[in-house]
Structure 1
Amino acid sequence: MSDYNGRQPPAAPVLDKARGLSSAEVAERIAAGQANDVPVRSGRTVGQIVRANLFTRINAMVAVLFAIIAVIGPLQDGLFALVIVFNTLIGIVQELRAKRTLDRLAIVNAARPRVLRDGATVDVATQEVVMDDVIEIGQGEQAVVDGVVVSASALEVDESLLTGESDPVLKRPGDPILSGSFVVAGSGLFRATRVGRAAYAARLAEEASRFGLVRSELRSGVDRILRIITWLLLPTGALLIYSQLFLGGHVTDATSSGGTISGPLADALRGTVAALVSMIPEGLVLLISIAFAVGVVRLGRRHCLVQELPAIEGLARVDVVCTDKTGTLTENGMRVAEVRVLDPTGAHSVDDILAALAAADPSPNRSMAAIAEAHPSAPTWPVVAVAAFSSARKWSGATLKTPDGERHWVIGAPDVLAPPTSPVAADAERIGAAGLRVLLLARAGERVDRENAPGEVAPVALVVLEQRVRDDAAATLRYFADQDVEVKVVSGDNATSVGAVARELGLPGADAPVDARGLPEDDGDFAAQVEQGRVFGRVSPEHKRSMVTGLQERGHTVAMTGDGVNDVLALKQADIGVAMGSGSPAARSVAQIVLLDDRFATLPHVVAEGRRVIGNIERVANLFLTKTVYSMTMVTIVGLIGVAYPFFPRHATLINALTFGIPSFFLALAPNGERARPGFVGRTLRLAVPAGLVSGIAAVTTYLLVLDGAATPTLADRTAVVVTLCATTLWVLLLVAKPYVWWKVALVGAMAGLLLVALFSPAGQAFFALDTGDPAKLVTGLVVAGAAATLITVIRLVDDRLLRRS
C-alpha cells in the first residue's frame, strides 16, 4: 500500500546513509520543528486532570445550588458544597498519583528506535526521531514514523493494523513504509520522511479510525444514568418550587438568624435545594475515577502497565484467556538440547551449517539465537540470499557460497518442511510429545529468496530445543480455573509439543491438542471447534485472530496474552490484549496491559483488581441511586399534596454523608473477588429503584404521621423524618455491604454512632437544626423505618431468588 497517492516518495536529501545524520543536522531539524512530537501514551496532562475533576456536570449543579444558599442563607445549609470540594481534591490527588505511576512505567515500556547518527547506531526516544533520520528496523519492531526503505534484507512488513490487509508486504529499497506497520521477517533501514502528527498512524489515531479505546460499560452506564437524572431534575425542581409557593407548602426556617432571607420565595428555594442536593449522585463519578486510579497505582507496584484505564474493567469481565506458550507459559530463553544428524554423508558438517545459518540471519528469533549460542564459530561463507523466519511459513533459510558452490539450507518446522507421513516427521512428533521444540535442518532445492522456495528438501538433522516451564504458570492456570475463566493455549509450535507442556501444567483438555491447520473453513464450525478445544498448535497469526473473533461471536469476552510479532493481530482483536514487557515492540504497542516483569502470574492480580473496581462501584452505585430515587419520590409526593418539604439542606447533607457519602469511599476500595458480569445498569436499578421508593414513601409516611394535619412542621417533626430516612438507608447500606467482615459492621456502627451524636449533642442539634424533645415522634420514625427495612429485605430476597432461577 502507498500513502503518496501515486506520487513518488520525497527525494532523499544529500546525506551519507552509512553515517546517517550528524549532530548538527539533528539540531537543525529540531530547531525547524521537524522532530517526532507525538504525545506519550500515559494518560492526561496535569491541566486536563484538574479540569476534568473540577469542571463536571455535577459540580456545576452543586455550584448553582450553593450560590442560591449563599444568597438566602443560612450558611450551614451550604455545607453540601464542602463535600464537593473535598471530593474534587481527592479525585485530583488520586489521578495525579496514577499519572506519575503511568508515566514512570510508560518510560520503561516505550520503544527505543535505533537510528544512525554520526556513523554510529544509537538508541533514542520515539520523540527524538527527526526528519531524514536513518532508522534500523528488525523482526517484531514497529515503524514509529513514515519513511522510505533505504536497504532491506528479506524485509517483510505487516500493515494490517493500518489497512486491514493481513498479507505481509515485501519491502525493497525505495518502497514507502508507514508508521504503525511492523516487521514480520527480515530487517532493513529506512529514512524518515514524515514525523509527528503528519505521520500516517498519528493521523489515523486523530481520526479515531482503527485505534479505538477499550469500551467501558461502567462509565457508559453511569453516564446514561446521569443524563436521565439531569433531565429529571428540571421537572421535579419546578414541581417543588410551584408547590412550595402556590400550594401552601412554604414555611419559615425557625432557626433563621442574621444574614438569612425569609419569605415564601426564599423558603421555597431552600426546600428545593434540600431536595435537589439529595437527588444528585455527587460522589458516583468521582469514586469511579478514584477506583480506577487506585487500581493503576496498585498494579504499578506489580510492574504492570495499564495503557488504557478501562482495561482493568475489561479484564474483570473476561471468561476466556487465550495465551501463547513460548514466553508466557515457558521461560523466554531456549537452549539446544540435542542435534540428531539424519544425513551424515553431506560435504559439510552440521555444526558448520547451523553456525552459518545463525550468522546469516539478520534478525534471529529465540530459536536461532539458541542455535547461535550453541554454535558460535561460523565459517566465512558469503551469503547469497536470505529468507528470514516468519510465523506464516514456519521456516527460515540462507543460500551460501561454500567451497563446493552455492548451497541452499532451510531450518524450520518438521511437519511443514517434511511430508507428514515421513519417518522424519514421525520422529519429530515423538520428540515433541515430551514438550520439546524440534526444528528440521534440510537442504533446499531452490534459492531461498525465490517464490517457489524451498522446493524439494532433503533432511539433514533434527535440532532439539528445550524450554523451562515457568514456576508460577501452573498456579496461575489453577487460579483461572477456580474463577471459571477458561484458558486456551494457542501456539505456533507443534500441537503435540504444546499439549505436552499444557499437560505438565495440569490444564484440562491438554490430552487432545488440536492442529489448527485441520480446523474447518466454515466460520460457524471453526468457532464451534475453537470453543470446544483447549490446546491448539501450528496456529498462524491470522488463525489466532480468527479464533479470538470466533469466540467473541459466540458471546465470550476474550483476553489474549502474547509477546511475539505473531501475536499482534490477535492482541489487537481481543477485548483485552496483554503483552509481555520483553516481547516485541509491536506487541507492546497494541496491548492494553503490559506485564513489564514478564510474569504471567501477575495476570490474576490484574483480574482481581478489575473485579474489585467493578464490584465495588456497583455497590456504590446502588447507594447513590437509592438516594436519588428516594429524593425524587419525596419531591413528587410532597409537591403533589402541597406540604412543606420536610428537610433543610443541612438535613440532606447529614443524611447523605452518614448513610452514603462516607461509607462509599471505604466500600469503593475494599477487596472484592466477584466476577464482573454485563448488565451493570439493570442490576443496579433492580435494588436502587425499589429501595429508593420504599425509603422515600417511608419518610413521607413518617412526616404525615407526625405532622398530624398541622400546617407548619416543627423541628421535632423534621427530626423524626431524618431518623426514618437514616435508619432505612443504613439498612440498605448493610444489604449492599455483603458479605460481612468486621470492618464493614464497624463502619455501619460508626455511622450510626455519628448520627446519635448529631441527634443528642447540643452542638449537633444547634448546627443541624434537630430536636429530640418529643420521644413519641422519634418512636414513630423508628417504627416506620423498621417496616420499610423489612419490606426492602423481602424485595431483595425475592429478586435474588428470581435471578437464580433465570
Structure 2
Amino acid sequence: MLGAPDVLLPPGDLVLVDADLLASQGLRVLLLGRAGMPVDAPGAPGEVTPAALLVIEQKIRDDAAETLRYFAAQDVELKIISGDSAVSVAAVATTLGLPGADQPVDARTLPDGTAPLAGRMAAASVFGRVVPEQKRAMVKALQAGGHTVAMTGDGVNDLLALKDADIGVAMGSGSPAARAVAQIVLLDNTFAALPHVVGEGRRVIGNIERVSVLFLTKTVYSVLLAILIGVAQIRFPFLPRHVTLIGWFTIGVPAFFLALAPNTERARPGFVPRVMRRAVPAGVVVAVASFVTCLLVRSGGEGTPEQDSTAVVITLVMIATWVLVVVARPYVWWKAALVAAMIGGFLLCLLLPVGQHVFEFDTSDTAAVAVAVACGAVGMALVELAWRFSFVDAGERRPHRDGGSRGPDGGSRVMASHR
C-alpha cells in the first residue's frame, strides 16, 4: 500500500509522529506499508504494517510569493485546498507569507451544509485532506456568501470544483479533463501569468467603459440637437466637415489611445447603468448649450452663417472636450499630452487661415465668439457637476490616481487553489 500515513494508520501510531514532524517542514510524506488483506477485498486494506516513509521535497516557484502578494493587494482572498496533509500544506503556505497559514484545517473535521462550511471557509486559509466532493462544496459555499470564485487545479479530483467555479483555471500539464472544463489554461504551468490575465481583462473592460461614455455622449447630443433644431425650425448650424472635425478631436483620436491604455481599475457590475448615468447628462448639456448658443448668436441678426456656425462649433467642442477630460481621469503624462494635443489641433484648425478656409470658420465676430465661450464654460461646469454627482448618487468612489477604485459594498473575490 502507498498512501497518506494518517489515512492508512490508526490514530496514535508512533509512525505518525515522524510523519507529522516531516510534514511540518513542508515535505510531502507517503507511507509504504503492507496491507492486511487484498486491496480489492471488502474492508480493505485492513491493518497496515508500515515499511517505510517516502519523503518528497516540494519545490516552490520563485514567482509564487510575488503572485500571492499581487492578489492580496487586489483584495482577493486566497484559499489553498489540497488532498495532502494540512500540516504540510500550511508549512509551504507559511513560507509564502499567506495570511492564516499557521492555522490549517483538516477537511475531515469540516461540517456539512453550506452555511456552516462558509463560516469555516471565511475563518481559515489552508485546508488539507480535501476530497473532490468537498472542493465542490467549498466553491458553492463561497459563492453562497456573495464571492466570485476562481478555482485553479490540474487533476481529475478538481473537475467538480473547476466546473462550478465562476472561473476555472487549469494547468497546461494537467489532465485533459481538467483542461476541457476550465475557462483558462496556463500553458506555461505557472501562476505568475494570472496577474497578467487579470490586468488584461481589467484593461479591456475599463477602457471599453471609458470609450463608451465618449461615443454615447455624442449619440445623445446629436439626436437631441437635431430634435431641438427641428422643433425650432432653424438652419442646422453644422456643415458635414464640422461634424468630422468634432469627431476627430473629441472622440475618434482620443478613443483610439484610451482603448489601448493600461487600466488597473477593478471590474464592477452595472456597466450599462453606469455608462448611461454619465453619458446622458453630458450629452444633454452639450446639446442644450450648443442650441442656446445658436439662438443667441442668431438673435442679433448681424452675423453671417459662417460666424454663427463657428460660434456653435466652439461651444460644442469646449464641452465635448471637457467630457474627454473627465473620462480620461486619473491623469498621467500621456493623457495630459493627449488632451492638450486635441485642444491644440482644434485651435489650429480654428485660427489658422488654411483651417478657416477648409472648414469655413470665421472668428471675426468677437461678440459671437464671446457668447460661445461663455456658454461653453457654463456647459463645462455642468458636465463636471454631473460627473461628480454620478459617483455620489451611486455610492461609488472616484478612481484614484493609480486607476483603482472600490464599490460601496467592498466585496471580495476569492481564489481557491489546489496545491
**1:636 and 2:227 correspond:** yes
Among residues 582, 585, 597, which one is paired with 2:188 in the alignment? 597
Equivalent pair of 1:541/1:567 in contact (CA under 8 Å): yes
**1:475 and 2:78 correspond:** no
CA spacing shift, 1:682–1:616, aligned 2, 3 Å: same
Question: Counterpart of 2:375 in structure 1: which amino acid?
Answer: V
Partner Cα distance (1:520, 1:653) in 2: 66
Question: Counterpart of 1:422 in structure 2: which amino acid?
Answer: D
Partner Cα distance (1:629, 1:426) in 2: 73
**1:795 and 2:386 correspond:** yes
Q: Aligned with 2:330: secondary structure?
A: coil
Question: Counterpart of 2:91 in structure 1: which amino acid?
Answer: A
Among residues 256, 263, 268, which one is paired with 1:677 in the alignment? 268
**1:658 and 2:277 correspond:** no
Among residues 47, 56, 76, which one is paired with 1:456 in the alignment? 47
Structure 2 residue runs of 5 or longer lacking an equivalent are 398-407, 409-419
**1:547 and 2:143 correspond:** no
Q: TM-score, normalised by structure 1?
A: 0.47
How far is the alpha carbon of 1:612 from its aligned partner?
1.4
Among residues 729, 737, 760, which one is paired with 2:328 in the alignment? 737
Q: Aligned with 1:600: secondary structure?
A: coil
Question: Counterpart of 2:111 in structure 1: which amino acid?
Answer: P
Equivalent pair of 2:297/2:303 in contact (CA under 8 Å): no
**1:496 and 2:93 correspond:** no
2:120 aligned residue: 529
Cα deviation, 1:777-798, whole Å, max 9, x if unaligned, reads 1221111111111122123233
Equivalent pair of 1:420/1:426 in contact (CA under 8 Å): no
Equivalent pair of 1:623/1:660 in contact (CA under 8 Å): yes
2:216 aligned residue: 625
Name segments (4+ residues, structure 1) moved above 6 Å.
Answer: none
Q: TM-score, normalised by structure 2?
A: 0.89
1:428 aligned residue: 19
How far is the alpha carbon of 1:800 from its aligned partner?
3.0
**1:568 and 2:159 correspond:** yes
Partner Cα distance (1:638, 1:558) in 2: 52
How far is the alpha carbon of 1:709 from its aligned partner?
7.1
How far is the alpha carbon of 1:586 from its aligned partner?
2.0
How far is the alpha carbon of 1:799 from its aligned partner?
3.4
1:180 aligned residue: none
Q: Aligned with 1:536: secondary structure?
A: strand
Equivalent pair of 1:579/1:594 in contact (CA under 8 Å): yes
Among residues 765, 778, 784, which one is paired with 2:375 in the alignment? 784
2:360 aligned residue: 769
Partner Cα distance (1:533, 1:627) in 2: 50
> Where is the helix percentage greater, Structure 1 or Structure 2?
2
Partner Cα distance (1:632, 1:516) in 2: 61
Partner Cα distance (2:228, 2:63) in 1: 60
1:701 aligned residue: 292
Partner Cα distance (1:446, 1:650) in 2: 90
Larger RCO (CA under 8 A, 6+ residues apart): 2
Equivalent pair of 1:644/1:712 in contact (CA under 8 Å): no
Question: Counterpart of 2:95 in structure 1: which amino acid?
Answer: E
Partner Cα distance (1:711, 1:585) in 2: 78
Q: Aligned with 2:192: secondary structure?
A: helix
How far is the alpha carbon of 1:804 from its aligned partner?
4.4
Partner Cα distance (2:204, 2:382) in 1: 30
1:96 aligned residue: none
Cα deviation, 1:110-133, whole Å, max 9, x if unaligned, reads xxxxxxxxxxxxxxxxxxxxxxxx
Q: Aligned with 2:51: secondary structure?
A: strand
Cα deviation, 1:298-321, whole Å, max 9, x if unaligned, reads xxxxxxxxxxxxxxxxxxxxxxxx
Question: Counterpart of 2:189 in structure 1: which amino acid?
Answer: D
Count the aligned residue pairs.
397
Question: Counterpart of 2:196 in structure 1: which amino acid?
Answer: H
Cα deviation, 1:373-411, whole Å, max 9, x if unaligned, reads xxxxxxxxxxxxxxxxxxxxxxxxxxxxxxxxxxxxx11
Partner Cα distance (2:315, 2:71) in 1: 45
Q: Aligned with 1:521: secondary structure?
A: coil
2:415 aligned residue: none
Partner Cα distance (1:696, 1:713) in 2: 22
Q: Aligned with 1:462: secondary structure?
A: strand
Q: What is the RMSD computed on CA atoms of the aligned residues?
A: 2.1
Equivalent pair of 1:626/1:688 in contact (CA under 8 Å): yes
Cα deviation, 1:158-193, whole Å, max 9, x if unaligned, reads xxxxxxxxxxxxxxxxxxxxxxxxxxxxxxxxxxxx
Cα deviation, 1:450-485, whole Å, max 9, x if unaligned, reads 343223322222221111111111111111111111
Partner Cα distance (2:296, 2:346) in 1: 22
Among residues 77, 80, 99, which one is paired with 1:486 in the alignment? 77
Equivalent pair of 2:168/2:181 in contact (CA under 8 Å): yes
Cα deviation, 1:344-380, whole Å, max 9, x if unaligned, reads xxxxxxxxxxxxxxxxxxxxxxxxxxxxxxxxxxxxx
Question: Counterpart of 2:194 in structure 1: which amino acid?
Answer: L
Equivalent pair of 1:644/1:713 in contact (CA under 8 Å): no
2:412 aligned residue: none
Partner Cα distance (1:799, 1:580) in 2: 42
Partner Cα distance (1:433, 1:766) in 2: 81
Q: Which moved more, 1:708-717 or 1:602-611?
A: 708-717
Question: Counterpart of 1:685 in structure 2: which amino acid?
Answer: M
2:178 aligned residue: 587
**1:439 and 2:30 correspond:** yes
Equivalent pair of 1:646/1:713 in contact (CA under 8 Å): no
Partner Cα distance (2:211, 2:124) in 1: 39
**1:557 and 2:154 correspond:** no
Question: Counterpart of 2:334 in structure 1: which amino acid?
Answer: W
Equivalent pair of 1:446/1:454 in contact (CA under 8 Å): yes
Q: Which moved more, 1:449-458 or 1:539-548?
A: 449-458
Among residues 347, 361, 370, which one is paired with 1:756 in the alignment? 347
Equivalent pair of 2:169/2:182 in contact (CA under 8 Å): yes
